[in-house]
Structure 1
Amino acid sequence: MPELQLLRPDHAPALLAFERENRDYFAASIPDRGEDYFARFDQRHLALLAEQEAGACYFHLLVGSAGDVLGRVNLVDVADGAAELGYRIAERAAGRGLATSAVREVCRLAAAGYGLTALRAATTLDNAASRAVLARTGFTVVGRTRLSGRPGLTYLRSLEDSAAGAC
């Protein structure tokens, strides 16, 4: 079973491989990161670690038994007891419930470990898999939005019951 790990400096090579291997797959449903992301990956990785150290964000990797990255689950823009949830799962690992279990674990960590009381999320209307993950993990639709010009929904999840393990 993959393990959820908080981002560390030594994750850089496996994380870069994950992003490169899945670039086209991710770009089909979310905006592409662009060439600069890959060209400046080392600097970006260090910047993410600094943000995490400051408590502004929490970056998690879903790591397989061979040390390969199977997914990411991030909490960004941490403020006033809340954060924005984002996640992506490798194409080869999709459809196995990994996103659902990883989001559930991050809900527990957010409440019990980071002291958060709510999470926000958003996804496009055409991303049925992401909408299903959010529904299964207790997020409710609270509004409409546009993501990269595409219609989407915004979600909210209270974490009041997550510290005890519910999600």
Structure 2
Amino acid sequence: MKNVNLTRLRDDHAAALLTFELENRAYFARSVPDRGDDYFAHFAARHAALLAEQETGLCHFHLLLDEHGAVVGRVNLVDVMDGSADLGYRIAERATGRGLAVAAVREIRARAATEYALTALTAATTTDNPASHKVLTRNGFVPVGGIDLDGKPGTRYQLRLGQ
């Protein structure tokens, strides 16, 4: 990922992360459910809660930071249990089309297996999000069935790590 680093979420990322979410809110809402006004109104508390959850090992939150420290993406592993986690990611509208999502998922796959000792990842995307389907399949995820994502049809994917 040229000029972009995948880094674990920290307290000092709050302002840059809020800027990322606000700048991309309308863009994200076109393909995934909107976070809602409450998310933004109580962002500081939400950020602190994410960090506390990360400390328990139940989630691993990451940011893609450009050379200026601006957030251009998020890559998260949530609901860590029994060697598995659910993968989620978002790339800023201004950073799409550069292969960042594919590269970020590739890097988080490696970290999941090595740093977090996970053996499997799952992910889901709406059926009307072909870019996300490509990101997942290019990283070895295979579709395992349909899923409802807040009223929108979607596809669930799975990946076995270490194969």
Return the TM-score normalized by structure 1. 0.95
Q: Which runs of 4+ in 1 moved over 2 A?
A: none
Residue equivalent to 2:4: 2
List runs of 5+ in structure 2 lacking aligned partners. none
Distance 2:143 2:32 in 1: 19
- Runs of 5+ consecutive residues of structure 1 not aligned to the other structure: 162-167
Alignment partner of 1:115: what SS? coil
Alpha-carbon shift at residue 160 of structure 1 (Å): 1.6
Q: Structure 1 residue 150: deviation in Å?
A: 1.1
Query: Superposition pairs for residues 88-167 of structure 1, below 5 Å?
Result: 88-161=90-163
| Correspondence list, 1:38-117, <5 A | 38-117=40-119
Distance 1:95 1:129 in 2: 9
> d(CA) in 1 for partners of 2:52 and 2:140?
30
Mapped to 1, the partners of 2:85 and 2:146 lie a distance apart of 18
Shift of 1:64: 0.3
Compute the RMSD of aligned alpha carbons: 0.5
CA distance, structure 2, for counterparts of residue 69 and residue 148 of structure 1: 26
Query: Alpha-carbon deviation of 1:17?
Result: 0.2
Distance 2:48 2:153 in 1: 33
How far does the alpha carbon of each residue in 1:96-119 deviate from its partner, in whole angstroms, 9 at most, with x for none? 100000000000000000000000
Distance 1:27 1:96 in 2: 21
SS in 1 for 2:79: strand
